[in-house]
Structure 1
C-alpha cells in the first residue's frame, strides 16, 4: 500500500528532505488545515511546504503575540478625558470704609492759631483745640465740652459765644451727621445700640448717603418712636 502511494508521487518530491510515505492522520490534517487556511497567507498555502504541527503552533504563537501587541498599542493610544480646570473666582470687592481718613474741623475764638485743623477719626474737642495751638490764657472753656467726639466739618467756638445760626457740634447744636458719623459715634445716640449703629452704616454704604433725616425710617430696627427721639439729634 505504501509502495503504491509512493509510486504515484513525483520523483522530485520523493527526493526532498521532508518527504515521507507515512499517511498523515486525517483528523490532525483536517484541524491543522483549517487553522492554516484561516491564519496563514494564501501564497504559503499554495506551496507544497508542510511546516508540520510544530511549525503551525509556532506560527500561531507568533500571530497571537502580534495580535496582543496591536491590542496593547490600541489600548495605550486611547483618548483619555482630562479633568476640567477649576473655576476662576472673581477677586473679592475692596473693603469700603465708612469713616473718613481724617476730620477737618474749624476752630474759632480764643486759641493761638484759629482756623481749620485736621484730627484723626474719633478725636475729641480737646484734640481740635490743641491742634489750634491751645486756648489763650483768658479763654473760658466752661461752655465747651472738651470730651465730646468730633464730626467732620463742624466748628468749635472757644471762649466766645456761639452764634445762633452757627452749625457746630457743641452746645446749641450737638447733632450728629448721618453721612460722616462712625459706628461708635452713632452708638452714643440715645436709643441706638451697637446693632442699629451698624445697620445705619450699612445702609449708608449701600445707598451712598442720606439725603434727608427721614430716611432713617428705612433702616431696620428704627420705628416711629425711636425716629421721633433721633430726628432732633442728627443731621445730613
Structure 2
C-alpha cells in the first residue's frame, strides 16, 4: 500500500501546454481607418509637392503644324505689356480690344493709348502692346496700314469688291444685294450666304477683307 502511494507521489506533474499566440484580427472598421489614413498621407505628399513645383501658365491655344485656319477663326500673336502673352484663336472680325482681353488684359505699365482698341485684327498678325514711355514697336505702323488696306465688306462699292480674288461684276453685285437685304455682314464667314461663294473661294478672299 505504501509502495503504491509512493508511486503516485513520484509522478511528475503534467506540464501545462502554452496557448498558441493569438492572431491579430482587424475588424472592417479598422481596415477602413487604415485605408483612409494611407490616402491622407498620399494626398498630403501630393499637396506638398504641388506647393513646391513651379506653376505652368498656358499662353493660349496653339495650332498644330500644317493645320490650316479654321473657318471663322483667326490666329493672333499678342505680345508686349499684357498679362498673358501668347498665340490666341479668335473669331473672325475680332478687334484689338478682344485680343488684349484674351491675353488677360493690360499689364500695369502698359501704354493703353499706344494701340487702337477699335481696329479689326487680321489673321497671322502680331499685336504688340508697348510699355509707358517706350517707342512704338517695330512693325506696329505697318500692321495698322495693312489693316487699313483690307476691304470692308459693309462699306465697299462694286469696283472695290471686284478687286478681290475671283470676284467679278456679277459676284460683286450679289454681295451688295445681300448686304442691302440683310443689313450688314457680321463676319467674313457671312460671305458663304452669297450665291456663288463657296469655302474655297472664301479662303482666297479672307486675307483681303474685314467687317467694320
TM category (shorter chain) comes to 0.3 to 0.5
Normalised to the residue count of structure 2, the TM-score between the two structures is 0.39
Higher relative contact order (CA 8 A, sep 6+): 2
Structure ID, larger Rg: 1
Normalised to the residue count of structure 1, the TM-score between the two structures is 0.35
